[in-house]
Amino acid sequence: MQNAKPAFKRILLKLSGEALMGDDQFGINHSTIVRMVDEVAEVTRLGVEVAVVIGGGNIFRGVAGGSVGMDRATADYMGMLATVMNSLALGDTMNKAGLTARVMSAIGIEQVVEPYVRPKALQYLEEGKVVIFAAGTGNPFFTTDTAAALRGAEIGAQIVLKATKVDGVYSADPKKDPDAVRYTTLTFDEAMSKNLGIMDATAFALCRDQKLPIKVFSIFKHGALKRVVMGEDEGTLVHV
Ligand SMILES: Nc1ncnc2c1ncn2[C@@H]1O[C@H](COP(=O)(O)OP(=O)(O)OP(=O)(O)O)[C@@H](O)[C@H]1O
Ligand SMILES: O=c1ccn([C@@H]2O[C@H](COP(=O)(O)O)[C@@H](O)[C@H]2O)c(=O)[nH]1
């Protein structure tokens, strides 16, 4: 179908930080980040406005610091800084691939990244730039999934796309339970009442209240992002 149009005008793409490691044990794998950017570039060429939140699990998670006795809020700020590093790497890779990316941070580090200012972010999106929201929500005790829900709602995205290491939402963690079954669709209430660990309850609740659907799909599956954007059958849709 040559003339098919994208199903969405503006998306909030949540990229897994952990997936950035590729086959490495830690950090940012070069060919993996280049591959992710290629997938994003493909959907920008369709005219879709793309905002991105990237996680920090390839570098640091606050919960890990907390578990070895660190002050949890301090550990969470370290986690937020990890997302700034990933955002800078992603923005740099995008710019090298011919996209125009702008990184905006929820915490003040102006010598490194410009601060998040909503009208400016909206202006960049209208100009066709890719906006990368760094440092999560700017507050400890949250996650980048919640930041994705928050920024998605703020910018009027039509959907939050969670690109992660699994190809959808399962009845249990498919990495731990081989009998887990994948859902094609489910409601926010079902996801929360079943305690499905793919996203935290705060992110689900915010999206439910804002009637902002979430699509969960695999970042490792070539072309999956484009298929989601074209409204094709891919991953799991979580809806009101
Ligand atoms: N019910 C479930 N269905 C699917 N995946 C699940 C489920 N419960 C737990 N998971 C796990 O959740 C993981 C994805 O969530 P998580 O937020 O930890 O990673 P991410 O968002 O990809 O990484 P990061 O936080 O670094 O951005 C999957 O890799 C999967 O193993
Ligand atoms: O709003 C936020 C977002 C993130 N954090 C901290 O950063 C790490 C990395 O984010 P992930 O979503 O786990 O990839 C997270 O574990 C928190 O420690 C935060 O405090 N507030």
pLDDT in tens, 45-65: 999 999 999 999 999 999 998
Position 163 in a domain:
yes
Position 4 in a domain:
no
Q: Measured in angstroms, how far is the CA atom of residue 78 from the centroid of ligand 2?
A: 8
Range of the domain at 148: 10-239
Q: Measured in angstroms, how far is the CA atom of residue 144 from the centroid of ligand 2?
A: 5
SS3 at position 103: strand
pTM score of the predicted model: 0.97
Across 51-87, b (16+ Cβ under 10 Å) vs e yields bbbbbbbbbbbbeebeeeeeeeeebbbbbbbbbbbbb
Find out whether the beta carbon of 165 lies less than 6 Å from any atom of ligand 1: yes
Distance CA 160, CA 52 (A): 10
Give the N- to C-terminal CA distance of the chain in Å, as an integer: 30
pLDDT at residue 1, rounded to an integer: 52
Find out whether the beta carbon of 65 lies less than 6 Å from any atom of ligand 2: no
Domain count within the chain: 1
Find out whether the beta carbon of 83 lies less than 6 Å from any atom of ligand 1: no
Which residues are CB-contacts of 108 (< 8 A; sequence separation ≥ 6)? 115
pLDDT in tens, 35-46: 999 999 999 999
pLDDT at residue 66, rounded to an integer: 84
**Probe residue for ligand 1, chosen from 52, 59, 198 as the CB with the greatest number of ligand atoms within 8 Å:** 198
CATH for 186: 3.40.1160.10
Position 235 in a domain:
yes
Tokens 């081989």 correspond to what residue? 178
Q: Measured in angstroms, how far is the CA atom of residue 197 from the centroid of ligand 1?
A: 7
- Edge-to-edge strands of the sheet including 130-134? 114-115, 101-105, 130-134, 49-54, 10-15, 159-164, 214-218, 236-239, 185-187
Position 1 in a domain:
no
Position 3 in a domain:
no
ipTM over cut 0.85: yes
Position 26 in a domain:
yes
| Strand pairing report for 114-115 and 101-105 | parallel
Residue numbers in the chain where pLDDT is lower than 70? 1-2
pLDDT in tens, 164-180: 999 999 999 999 999 99
- Helix 144-154, helix 201-209: angle, nearest 10: 10
Q: Which ligand is nearest to the CA of 142?
A: 2
Position 45 in a domain:
yes
Position 30 in a domain:
yes
pLDDT at residue 2, rounded to an integer: 56
